[in-house]
Chains A and B, each alone.
Chain A
Amino acid sequence: MIVKNGESSLDHKTVNRRLIKENVSYRTFLSRNSENRGKILIFICASLIMAATMSITLFLTLQGIRSFTVDGLNPIKFLTGIHWNPESHQHASYGALPFIFGSFTVTILAALIAAPIGIGSALFMTEIAKTWGQKMLQPVIEILVGIPSVVYGLIGLSVIVPFIRSQFGGLGFGMLAAAIVVGIMILPTVASLAADAIKSVPDEWRQASYALGATKWQTIYKVVIPAALPSLLTAVVLGMARAFGEALAVQMVIGNAKVLPHSLIEPAATLTTMITLSMGHTTDGSVLNDALWSLGLILLIMTYIFIILIRFLSKRGRLS
């Protein structure tokens, strides 16, 4: 008998059911050794996550575009305007550029701080001092990951802000303080992801390198780092995504001035700090409330961009 792809010649009256796939029904779901039961449970969990993600996206999008569709704000002016002055009755203005600028600057500076130190310590514990480096640094990193952000904020407030004040003058609050605090905060994330990336570089390449007369340092920076580079970049981007979304610690040290700062040591604000600081004082449906939702939408879009970037990097990392 010829059976075409996807068709079955076995009808339901077949006597020998042993080798025949069971149909999905409530009965298979209740039966203890059913394969389908597990599958259905897992499917439900997966759908819940998808539904949650999609509804958050949808909700934020709908709320976020209200300021343009309902309140009539100009989206270009919203993104490029540098004056945020919602309280003024005649000339209320909603320019989000200072906060977008603040978010990006803090994120990039934090990455500049966390990337070299994080990758450096990852290299130290995987390549240089394998045994005791691992033993010492691993728990330290785990503790650092577990510290709540408010603690980082407090340390920033009591150590970093006064330090900047004494070194550079001014108040000490600003993007520099925020970048340092957030940089330290994402450091453990970057370090542990980078360590995983370096560990996954096959030992054969190190062997090949040493056998060709490479020194340890040459092996690290000519073989190990290039081989791990896509994953290392992923580690940094993931850290940046965290930095971009951090509100509490940043809010404690950035000074929260709704203006475009002229330097790194002047008070500024970010998208997240604006939302956390202002949201409580607004009423649902007011223009300011809608504008804050729009800031949230920008954050969400940035998150998506970070994720696409990570996907792209890790795909490129897979070797042909």
Chain B
Amino acid sequence: MLTQLKENIVYPEPKKQNIIIEVNELNVYYKNNHAVKNVSLPIRERSITALIGPSGCGKSTFLRTINRMNDLIPGAKCQGEIMYDGINLLDKKIDVVALRKEIGMVFQKPNPFPKSIYENIAMPLKFAGIRGKKRLNDIVEESLYQAALLDEVKDRLSQSALSLSGGQQQRLCIARALALKPKVLLLDEPTSALDPVSSAKIEDLLLSLKKQVSLAVVTHNMQQAARIADQTAFFYEGEVVEYNDTSIMFTKPVYKKTEDYINGRFG
């Protein structure tokens, strides 16, 4: 699926049943800026992994590397291993277009296309060459339902997506990302531009999505991480200081740095 399979890619044994993405010794550079340093981290299947850490510590960079959105940034360079389905996603032979259909991404600022609500969700389907009115309708409806947006917009599917509120727009973006049924969804501060009520809706949504997709969420909101994440990774200056089950991390962090950050002593 993902690659034009070639013999020189190594297929290691799956290490643990429930790990969907395993990052090993990942290094990312922007020109001379070493943004991600030797990061090793698993992302578990059907769970939410929260990435926390102070601004500029490389969370977004890490996330973008997973579905190769970093390829679009001139001067960005990656080394290491991101194992997914037995292959290294950083390999030159990866078809990034196919990869991004399996590993979707949602951005900090809601970014619906300046088109109708329906068109927004139909867009990735068209990219994937999925045709047929009936089929498109079904998937659009299903995606909106999964994103808990269907009831609010079912009578106005042909209206501009930009007429929705910020929170609705973000759920539309999630619905859009779900349309191709990705296995993994990467979310970069999906609620930081939203009000508390809209954020709560998105949190509920992410919890419900856990049944179908594996999620990695960057957040600056400690309570949010504590509420929704199964595992949490603490990034600091490009490195992962600590990774653990959220319940352990937030009650008995191993490192002083983690504790300080979680308790808001710096950031």
A binds B: yes
Binds B, one of A148-156, A222-230, A283-291: A222-230
State whether the Cβ of B238 lies closer than 8 Å to any Cβ in chain A. no
A212 touches B111 (CB 8 A): no
- Contact among B97, B99, B107, B177 for A207, CB-based, below 8 A: B107
Binds A, one of B36-44, B122-130, B206-214: B122-130
State whether the Cβ of A87 lies closer than 8 Å to any Cβ in chain B. no
A299 to B111, CA, bound (A): 44
B126 touches A211 (CB 8 A): no
Instruction: Please name the residue on chain B nearest to A211 by beta carbon.
Output: B105
- Contact among A205, A207, A213, A218 for B180, CB-based, below 8 A: A213
Secondary structure dominating the interface of A? helix
Supposing A208-B173, A211-B177 touch, asked if A320 and B127 sit within 8 A by C-beta, the answer is no
A223 to B176, CA, bound (A): 14
- Contact among B69, B72, B109 for A204, CB-based, below 8 A: B109
CB contacts (< 8 Å) of A210 on chain B: these are 69, 72, 100
CB proximity to B under 8 Å, residues A67-101: none
State whether the Cβ of A214 lies closer than 8 Å to any Cβ in chain B. yes
- Contact among A131, A212, A222, A227 for B100, CB-based, below 8 A: A212
CB proximity to B under 8 Å, residues A118-147: 131
CB contacts (< 8 Å) of B124 on chain A: these are 212-214
B104 touches A222 (CB 8 A): no
CB contacts (< 8 Å) of A226 on chain B: these are 114-115
State whether the Cβ of A319 lies closer than 8 Å to any Cβ in chain B. yes
Supposing A218-B127, A222-B123, A226-B115 touch, asked if A213 and B97 sit within 8 A by C-beta, the answer is yes
- Contact among A204, A211, A214, A320 for B67, CB-based, below 8 A: A211
A11 to B120, CA, bound (A): 60
State whether the Cβ of A215 lies closer than 8 Å to any Cβ in chain B. yes
Chain A nearest CB, measured from B110 CB (Å):
9
State whether the Cβ of B171 lies closer than 8 Å to any Cβ in chain A. no
Chain A interface residue bracket vs B: 20 to 34
- Contact among B72, B74, B97, B114 for A319, CB-based, below 8 A: B114
Supposing A204-B109, A205-B111, A227-B113 touch, asked if A212 and B123 sit within 8 A by C-beta, the answer is yes
Chain B nearest CB, measured from A131 CB (Å):
8
B127 touches A213 (CB 8 A): yes
CB contacts (< 8 Å) of B67 on chain A: these are 211
CB contacts (< 8 Å) of B3 on chain A: these are none
Instruction: Please name the residue on chain A nearest to B104 by beta carbon.
Output: A211
CB contacts (< 8 Å) of B97 on chain A: these are 213-215
Instruction: Please name the residue on chain B nearest to A216 by beta carbon.
Output: B97
Chain B interface residue bracket vs A: 20 to 34
Instruction: Please name the residue on chain B nearest to A227 by beta carbon.
Output: B114
CB contacts (< 8 Å) of A204 on chain B: these are 107, 109, 111
- Contact among A208, A214, A223, A227 for B107, CB-based, below 8 A: A208
CB contacts (< 8 Å) of A227 on chain B: these are 113-114
State whether the Cβ of B101 lies closer than 8 Å to any Cβ in chain A. yes
Which of B98, B100, B160 gathers most chain A CB within 10 Å? B100
CB proximity to A under 8 Å, residues B80-126: 97-101, 104-105, 107, 109, 111-115, 123-124, 126
Chain B nearest CB, measured from A178 CB (Å):
38
CB proximity to B under 8 Å, residues A171-226: 202, 204-205, 207-215, 218, 222-223, 226
Chain B nearest CB, measured from A25 CB (Å):
48
- Contact among B72, B127, B163 for A212, CB-based, below 8 A: B127
A208 to B112, CA, bound (A): 8
Chain B nearest CB, measured from A6 CB (Å):
35
A320 touches B113 (CB 8 A): no
Contact with B along A282-320 (1 / 0, CB 8 A): 000000000000000000000000000000000000011
Instruction: Please name the residue on chain A nearest to B129 by beta carbon.
Output: A218
CB contacts (< 8 Å) of B72 on chain A: these are 207, 210
Supposing A207-B69, A222-B127 touch, asked if A213 and B173 sit within 8 A by C-beta, the answer is no
B127 touches A319 (CB 8 A): no
State whether the Cβ of B157 lies closer than 8 Å to any Cβ in chain A. no
Contact with A along B121-165 (1 / 0, CB 8 A): 001101110000000000000000000000000000000101100
A319 to B116, CA, bound (A): 12
CB contacts (< 8 Å) of A208 on chain B: these are 107, 111-113, 173, 176
A226 to B97, CA, bound (A): 21
B69 touches A212 (CB 8 A): no
Closest 5 CB pairs of A and B: A213-B101, A204-B111, A212-B124, A211-B105, A213-B100
Interface residues of B (CB under 8 A from A): 67, 69, 72, 74, 97-101, 104-105, 107, 109, 111-115, 123-124, 126-128, 160, 162-163, 173, 176-177, 180
| A-B contacts, 9 listed (Cβ < 8 Å) | A207-B69, A208-B112, A208-B113, A212-B100, A213-B97, A214-B127, A218-B127, A227-B114, A319-B160
Extra contacts besides A208-B112, A210-B69 (20): CB < 8 Å: A205-B114, A207-B107, A208-B173, A208-B176, A210-B72, A211-B67, A211-B69, A211-B107, A212-B124, A213-B97, A213-B98, A213-B100, A213-B101, A213-B180, A214-B124, A215-B97, A215-B127, A218-B126, A222-B126, A223-B113
Interface residues of A (CB under 8 A from B): 131, 202, 204-205, 207-215, 218, 222-223, 226-227, 319-320
